[in-house]
Chains A and B, each alone.
Chain A
């Protein structure tokens, strides 16, 4: 029997109490799609909030129906007997503000015009993203979370949460993340965005009523992104120079090598589930993220943090290298906080946190166990 979960929806901001964004602009209606696993205990002390990464959504674990082939994106981490044990913890995951999987984003209808926002959607930041999640937690009746956790952009949300709402968490898990995006990471995102905005079908972001959508741009962006998520070694082991099919006399400029066909496949499946404008807004929010926020040192910026934390990096992750994690660790240490850091051996690059690795699971299980006491 497959474990089933349902995506729920909640309006967290409306015209009576709009969401004030960092840019000074307002959103008069914000809806969040979210899922929960397990049960909230009587003392409301077993709640864990998960933040997803760029391409994730609220569907973190279990299946939506018995017919589904694939479970949620972090199913190996969440469920009975898994690190985020749904027999012990009440686990929550919401689609981010700006997303396209049920939460308010550029593809949502602007209540003022009755049409999708497109690029009239205001710019959003990581700080903006966590505000609706905070509302959701309050709505669920939770004052203090046992733990927050996130990888990559999810880790940025966790970091910002630990600074913005220090009293609301006991523990925090920062996985494969960074206090700011490196120039290299911004560069890759920038090429991805350029692919979308230079697609003639993008139409300055107002393509929702058009039969032509900037899917070639989005596909290209995803293909570039996907390269940055993989480890050099795992890519070499998986594909090497293997050919996709027998090469005939005509040159095939896109699908000769297996790695090419793999990227094509990844790109094609991504465009079926993701909105190009969401990709633009979210990658912008990631690139703009700056945990320093005007402070001279990271330790100063992290001054409000109280939570016990576990910072994890992966040895082959070159997009969010361990040096970035160590900056966080160093700052937390200087602030005399209870922090643990582990650099987990893995060949799978940045994507390692989305791969079922025993050592990764051991670390998370141990951290949560220690948090309970």
Chain B
């Protein structure tokens, strides 16, 4: 995933935690462009092994359990790119993220995107798109939500939304009109 779309939110030389870092693409970009002090967390043994030879600092661990290892405000920035919908308790994860990080970026596929709405309306089946390609019975996305849902959640939890990016399509083209309908994907810059 092209990460430069949200890297403008990250200051130079920040201490950054990348959740679900995979084989380290985002970390490499942040190290190169922001001289960031980057840490990664990923559950997959294979992905962690792939990161080691790149010289990246990665911890094999579970977002659902291993976030409370750090002191408050330890990170300048926590990145939760496209993973919140995979977690068992998203509310708990966001609260953890905003405890250990001063700021965080949370991104997710918007389930109210019009193509998804149309797919349910006309086909009457769980939608399958490029971003959400799985059948309902094998999807890792266990907590799907929408732009409006997330804004409501932030309000209820006293989380400040500092900025947002709504995007659509393979090239992540920015959209601004009626985002809950037109955005396929949303990025939020949040803090407590």
Task: Please tell me if B127 contacts chain A, counting CB pairs below 8 Å.
Answer: no
The residue in chain B whose Cβ has the minimal distance to the Cβ of A338 is B57
Task: Please tell me if B86 contacts chain A, counting CB pairs below 8 Å.
Answer: no
**Within 8 Å CB of B55, what residues of A?**
370-371, 373
B69 touches A365 (CB 8 A): no
A340 touches B58 (CB 8 A): yes
B59 touches A333 (CB 8 A): yes
A340 touches B37 (CB 8 A): no
Task: Please tell me if B61 contacts chain A, counting CB pairs below 8 Å.
Answer: yes
Q: A333-B39, A334-B74 are in contact. Are A340 and B45 (CB under 8 A)?
A: no
Query: Which stretch from B1-9, B46-54, B105-113 is at the chain A interface?
Result: B46-54
Task: Please tell me if B60 contacts chain A, counting CB pairs below 8 Å.
Answer: yes
Task: Please tell me if B134 contacts chain A, counting CB pairs below 8 Å.
Answer: no
**Within 8 Å CB of A369, what residues of B?**
53
Task: Please tell me if A180 contacts chain B, counting CB pairs below 8 Å.
Answer: no
**Within 8 Å CB of B56, what residues of A?**
340
The residue in chain A whose Cβ has the minimal distance to the Cβ of B48 is A342
Bound form: Cα–Cα A160–B74 in Å: 26
B52 touches A310 (CB 8 A): yes
Bound form: Cα–Cα A336–B66 in Å: 17
**Most chain B CB within a 10 A radius of its CB, from A330, A339, A366, A367:** A366
**Within 8 Å CB of B133, what residues of A?**
none
Band of interface residues on B: 20 to 34
Q: A329-B59, A333-B59, A334-B74 are in contact. Are A342 and B52 (CB under 8 A)?
A: yes
Closest CB in chain A relative to B35 CB, distance in Å: 14
Within 8 A of B (CB), among A317-373: 326, 329-330, 333-334, 336, 338-345, 359, 362-363, 365-367, 369-371, 373
Contact of B71 among A310, A334, A345 (CB under 8 A): A334
The residue in chain A whose Cβ has the minimal distance to the Cβ of B59 is A341
The residue in chain A whose Cβ has the minimal distance to the Cβ of B57 is A338
Closest CB in chain B relative to A236 CB, distance in Å: 23
The residue in chain A whose Cβ has the minimal distance to the Cβ of B17 is A333
Main secondary structure of the interface of A (DSSP, over half): helix
A339 touches B59 (CB 8 A): yes
A336 touches B49 (CB 8 A): no
Task: Please tell me if B96 contacts chain A, counting CB pairs below 8 Å.
Answer: no
Bound form: Cα–Cα A343–B47 in Å: 12
B53 touches A333 (CB 8 A): no
B52 touches A366 (CB 8 A): yes
A333 touches B37 (CB 8 A): no
B52 touches A334 (CB 8 A): no
Bound form: Cα–Cα A343–B44 in Å: 9
B69 touches A342 (CB 8 A): no
Bound form: Cα–Cα A342–B66 in Å: 14
Bound form: Cα–Cα A369–B50 in Å: 12
B69 touches A333 (CB 8 A): yes
Contact of A365 among B39, B51, B53, B58 (CB under 8 A): B53
**Within 8 Å CB of B48, what residues of A?**
340-342
A339 touches B57 (CB 8 A): yes
B69 touches A367 (CB 8 A): no
Closest CB in chain B relative to A211 CB, distance in Å: 53
Task: Please tell me if B15 contacts chain A, counting CB pairs below 8 Å.
Answer: yes
Chain B interface (Cβ within 8 Å of chain A)? 15, 37, 39, 45, 48-49, 51-61, 66, 69-71, 74
Sample of 24 A–B contacts (CB below 8 Å):
A326-B66, A326-B69, A329-B59, A330-B69, A333-B39, A333-B69, A336-B37, A338-B57, A340-B48, A340-B52, A340-B58, A341-B48, A341-B60, A345-B45, A359-B45, A362-B49, A362-B52, A363-B52, A365-B53, A366-B49, A366-B52, A366-B53, A370-B52, A370-B54
A334-B70, A340-B52 known; 5 other A-B pairs, CB under 8 Å?
A: A326-B69, A330-B69, A333-B59, A339-B57, A367-B53
Which 4 A/B pairs are nearest by Cβ-Cβ distance? A366-B53, A370-B55, A366-B52, A330-B69
